[in-house]
Structure 1
Amino acid sequence: MYINRKSVHRGNSKLSQTNPRFFKKMNRVFSCLDSLVILIAGSLVLAGCVGDRRLQIMQDAGPAEIYQAGTEAVAENNFTTALTYFEVLEARFPFSNYARQAQLDMIYAYFRGNRMEQAIDAADEFEAENPTHPRVDYCLYMKGLVYFDREPDFLERFFRVNMSERPPSDTLEAFNTFQELLQRFPESPYVPDSRERMIFLRNRLAAYENYVADYYIERGAYIAAINRAKFAVEHYPGAPAIEESLVTLSRAYAMIGMPDLASDAQRVLEVNFGIETPPQPASQVEILELEIEE
C-alpha cells in the first residue's frame, strides 16, 4: 500500500514545521512496512500455488535477492510489484547499496507506471539526500522526462485543444530541468537526448509567446506584444517559431511609429529566414497626423 509523500504530517504540528523531512521520511518508512506486510501475506496465500516465484519472496530474503526480484518485475513491466519490492528493500535494509540503487529504480518505475508526481518526489528526495551522488544527473533527466511526457488530459484531447494556446507550465519545467542537467553535468550520457528534447521544447515555448503577442496585437496593446515577441527572440534563439516573433515585432513597432526598429526586425527576418514582410499598415501616429491635417 502506497502512502503519498505529500500526505499531512501526523503528530505535533510545531515539530513538523521545524523538521518536515523527518516526518516525510517516517511516512515513507511506514509505507514500506505496509508493503512488506502485504508482500508476506501474499506470499503465504500463494505459497501452495504454481505462480510467479517473485511473489513468494521470504521475509528473511537478503537485499540482493529482493533487489533482483524488483528488477525482474521492472523488466516484465510489472511496476506495481517492482515498487513493492523496492519499498520493502528500502525499509529492511535502508543503509545498503542495494537500497540506494532501488531508490533510483523507483523513479523509473513510478514514471513507467504513470505515477508522475511520485516520480518527481522520488527524484527530488534522492537528490536532497545524496547531493554529491554520481547519479544525480539521472534524477534530473528523469524529472525532465516526466514533465516532457505529460500528455493533455482526456477533455483536451477530445476537444482538440490547441496546446500552443495553453500556458506551457510542464513544458517550461522540462526545458529548465534539461537545461540544469546540461549546465551541471555537461559530460553526462543523458546530455545528447536532453539537448534534442530542449530543441523541441524551445519551439513550443516560443510558439506560446507568439500566441500571447498576437492576442495583444488584436487588442491594440502593441507594447505588450513587443515585450512578448522580444522575450521569445531573446530566450529561445534558433526556434522555428522565432520567424513569427520577428514578424510581430516588425508589425508592432510600425504601429507605434518606430520605423527604425520595425526595419531592424524586418532585416533580421530577411537574413535568417529569407522572408520579406508585407508593407506595414500606417501607424497610429501617422493616422493621427493625417486626421489633424484634414
Structure 2
Amino acid sequence: MQVRHLLLIAILALTAACSSTKEVVDDNLSEVELYQQAQADLDNHSYTSATAKLKALESRYPFGRYADQAQLELIYAYYKNSEPEAAKSAAERFIRLHPQHPNVDYAYYLKGLTSFDQDVGLLARFLPLDMTKRDPGAARDSYNEFAQLTSRFPNSRYAPDAKQRMIYLRNLLAAYEIHVADYYLTRQAYVAAANRGRYVVENFQETPSVGDGLAVMVESYQRMHLDELANTSLEVLKDNYPNHPSLVDGQFVPQVSDSDNRSWLSKATLGMIESSTPLPPGETRANLDIKKQYQDAKDAIPADLKPKDADGNVIPEPEPEDKSRSWFSYMTLGLFD
C-alpha cells in the first residue's frame, strides 16, 4: 500500500470522527438515571455517550452522591475513548480537588496509563516500529506518574502493575539513550557519545543497556586516545558482561569503522554540514534520512501482511520510475503527481 493510500485512509477516518454529532443529554434525567445510563454506556463500550452523561451528571449534581465517582469514571471514559489530553486533565483535576479521596490512587494510575499508551498510535499498531527509537517524552511522563503512584500509595492494588510497567519504561528509556549515543558515534562526536554512555551506566543500572553504555564509553575513549579511561571501562565491561557483542575472544571490536574519516567541520556540526560526499541536485540529508526510515519500516513488514496474488505469492512492487521529482511533489508526498 502506497503512502498516498495510507494518508487517504487517515484523512477519511479523521473526517468521520470530526463529523460525529454531539450527543444531547435529556434535561429531565435524575441523578440516579444519569449514572445508570452512563454505566450502561461504559459496559457497552459507548465511551462518547458515557462521557456526555458523566459530564452532565457532574455539572447538574455537583454535590450529589455520585459526583466524585462520576469524575473518576470520566477519566476512564476519556482514556478508553483515545482522548489522552482530556484524560490527564481530568485526572489532575480530581487529584487537585480530592487529594485525600480513598480512590485517588486510581486517578494516579489512569494518568500514568494514559501516558503509557499515548505512543501506541495507528502506525505503531500495524507497522513494526522500534519504540526505543521514538521520542521518549510520553514514556518519561508515564514513568514519573507511575513513580508518584508507587511512592505515595505503596500498598495500592494498582502498585504492582505500575511497577511492572516502570521496569519496561526504564528499559525503553535506557535503550533510547543508547540509540542517541550510537548516533553520536557515527557522527564522530565522541565526547557526546561518552557522556550518553556514562549517563546510562550511572542512571539505568540493572537494565540490559548498561553493557551497551560501557561499550560506547570504551569506543569513545579509545577514539579520543584517553587510554586510561578506555581500559577502565573495558575491564568493567569484561567483568560484568563477558558475552557482550562488542567482545570477540576477549578483544573489544569497535562499532564504527576507522575508514569513516571526516573533516573537522563535519565533526564539529555532528555531520549536519558534510564535505566528503556531495548530495544530488535538489536533495537534502533530512530527505534522505526520511526515505531510509520509510524504506526500513516497509522492508520490516512481515511477508504474511504483504499483498498476494491468486496463487498466494507476494506481489512485487513496481520498479520506481526514473524521473526527477519537484520540490512540490516531495512536500505533498506525491499526492498531486
Given the two structures, how large is their TM-score scaled by the length of structure 2?
A: 0.62
CA RMSD in angstroms, aligned pairs only: 2.4
Q: 2:55 aligns with which of 72, 87, 91?
A: 87
1:112 corresponds to which residue? 80
The answer to whether the 8 Å contact 1:233/1:242 transfers is yes
Hey, what's the Cα distance between the residues in 2 that align with 1:267 and 1:133? 53
1:1-294 superposed matches below 5 A: 38-40=24-26, 59-61=28-30, 63-154=31-122, 161-275=129-243, 277=247, 278-279=251-252
Hey, what's the Cα distance between the residues in 2 that align with 1:112 and 1:155? 18
Return the structure number with greater helix share. 1
Hey, what's the Cα distance between the residues in 1 that align with 2:97 and 2:165? 28
Hey, what's the Cα distance between the residues in 2 that align with 1:279 and 1:244? 12
Cα distance change of structure 1 residues 197 and 78 upon mapping to structure 2, 3 Å threshold: same
The answer to whether the 8 Å contact 2:119/2:138 transfers is no
Give the superposition deviation at 1:167.
2.1
Hey, what's the Cα distance between the residues in 2 that align with 1:116 and 1:232? 29
1:34-80, Cα deviation, whole Å (9 max, x unpaired): 97xx222xxxxxxxxxxxxxxxxx7152x233222212221121112
Q: Which amino acid aligns with 1:59?
A: N
The answer to whether the 8 Å contact 1:141/1:194 transfers is yes
1:289 corresponds to which residue? none
Hey, what's the Cα distance between the residues in 2 that align with 1:181 and 1:263? 42
The answer to whether the 8 Å contact 1:74/1:109 transfers is yes
Q: Which runs of 5+ in 2 are unaligned?
A: 1-21, 259-337
1:60-101, Cα deviation, whole Å (9 max, x unpaired): 52x233222212221121112211221121111101231111
Hey, what's the Cα distance between the residues in 2 that align with 1:225 and 1:153? 30
The answer to whether the 8 Å contact 2:132/2:175 transfers is yes
The answer to whether the 8 Å contact 1:164/1:204 transfers is yes
Deviates more, 1:153-162 or 1:110-119: 153-162
Hey, what's the Cα distance between the residues in 1 that align with 2:57 and 2:113? 26
Give the superposition deviation at 1:263.
2.9
Hey, what's the Cα distance between the residues in 2 that align with 1:161 and 1:270? 32
The answer to whether the 8 Å contact 1:254/1:280 transfers is no
- Identity across the alignment (%): 38
Q: Which runs of 5+ in 1 are unaligned?
A: 1-33, 41-57, 285-294
The secondary structure found in structure 2 opposite 1:97 is coil
Give the superposition deviation at 1:217.
1.1
Give the superposition deviation at 1:156.
6.5
Given the two structures, how large is their TM-score scaled by the length of structure 1?
A: 0.71
Q: Which amino acid aligns with 1:264?
A: T
The secondary structure found in structure 2 opposite 1:121 is helix
The secondary structure found in structure 1 opposite 2:135 is coil
Hey, what's the Cα distance between the residues in 1 that align with 2:121 and 2:159? 29
Hey, what's the Cα distance between the residues in 2 that align with 1:207 and 1:72? 43
Work out the number of aligned pairs and report it.
229
Cα distance change of structure 1 residues 157 and 85 upon mapping to structure 2, 3 Å threshold: closer
Cα distance change of structure 1 residues 75 and 60 upon mapping to structure 2, 3 Å threshold: closer
Give the superposition deviation at 1:259.
2.8
1:215-259, Cα deviation, whole Å (9 max, x unpaired): 111122111111111222222221112221111111112222233
Give the superposition deviation at 1:153.
4.2
Give the superposition deviation at 1:154.
4.3
Deviates more, 1:156-165 or 1:248-257: 156-165
